[in-house]
């Protein structure tokens, strides 16, 4: 008697699972779990991303995390993969192990230290191309963050460096935030004593500027998952 009932229940369950597979129906509980899975965005950059000389809640990542979480309909996790002093060469060398398999998108912010060190812009471009192509091959979305060369390096260097970001954004179909330090550079009270790295107030300006771009990125990821 028990064996017969068990066989009937097993058959019914098998039929139900088969219908799920045919129709693409996802049980409500599974759908709810998928909706709660956070969108993982990795901020991959240098000291500007890492939060150089700032407190645990003052850097770019914690401030962006707080801002983007307000009013979000789905959890969004911003992870810090910034390394102070990193160049595009350094970023390329650590890309694979810094960007985990759970990553949905990357905020790619590298190149400032290349410019400060006077590295050949052709090298910077080549490294960014390799990072972009590697991430796209992994089906990871990218928000490219631009930088401008310091004027003291001369017009020739600027002409080689400054077009890199808009040209790569156009070539690879990427959203571009043109200048990471927009509203911060040369603005009183926005940078530390070195005149380069942002204060907590400077970071707040940076976050406010880039936030709509990151929200659009998260929305695109959420829509693609439906």
What are φ and ψ of residue 151, in 5° steps?
-60, -30
Choose, from 46, 86, 104, 197, the residue flagged as catalytic. Answer: 197
194 flagged as catalytic: yes
Choose, from 3, 101, 194, 223, the residue flagged as catalytic. Answer: 194
47 flagged as catalytic: yes
SS3 103: coil
Laid out side by side, the sheet with 141-145 consists of 76-82, 39-45, 105-109, 141-145, 176-177
Count of CB atoms situated within 10 Å of the CB of 67:
18
- The answer to whether 143 and 217 are in contact (CB under 8 A) is yes
Choose, from 46, 47, 86, 104, the residue flagged as catalytic. Answer: 47
SS3 85: coil
Q: Known catalytic residues?
A: 47, 194, 197
């Amino acid at each position: 008697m028990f064996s017969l009932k068990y066989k009937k229940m097993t058959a019914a369950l098998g039929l139900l699972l088969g219908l799920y597979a045919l129709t693409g129906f996802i049980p409500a509980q599974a759908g709810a779990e998928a909706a709660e899975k956070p969108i993982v965005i990795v901020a991959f950059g240098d000291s500007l991303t890492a939060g150089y000389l700032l407190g645990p809640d003052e850097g770019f990542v914690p401030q962006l995390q707080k801002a983007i979480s307000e009013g979000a309909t789905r959890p969004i996790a911003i992870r810090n993969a910034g390394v102070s002093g990193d160049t595009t060469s350094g970023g390329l060398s650590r890309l694979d192990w810094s960007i985990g398999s759970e990553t949905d998108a990357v905020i790619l912010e590298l190149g400032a230290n290349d410019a400060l060190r006077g590295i050949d812009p052709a090298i910077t471009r080549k490294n960014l191309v390799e990072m972009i192509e590697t991430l796209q091959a992994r089906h990871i979305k990218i928000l490219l963050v631009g930088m401008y060369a310091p004027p003291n390096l001369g017009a020739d260097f600027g002409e080689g460096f400054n077009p890199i970001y808009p040209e790569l954004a156009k070539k690879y179909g990427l959203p571009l935030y043109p200048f990471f330090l927009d509203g911060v550079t040369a603005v009183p009270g926005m940078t530390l004593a070195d005149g380069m790295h942002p204060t907590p107030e400077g970071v707040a300006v940076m976050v406010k500027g880039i936030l709509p771009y990151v929200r659009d990125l998260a929305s695109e990821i959420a829509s693609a998952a439906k």
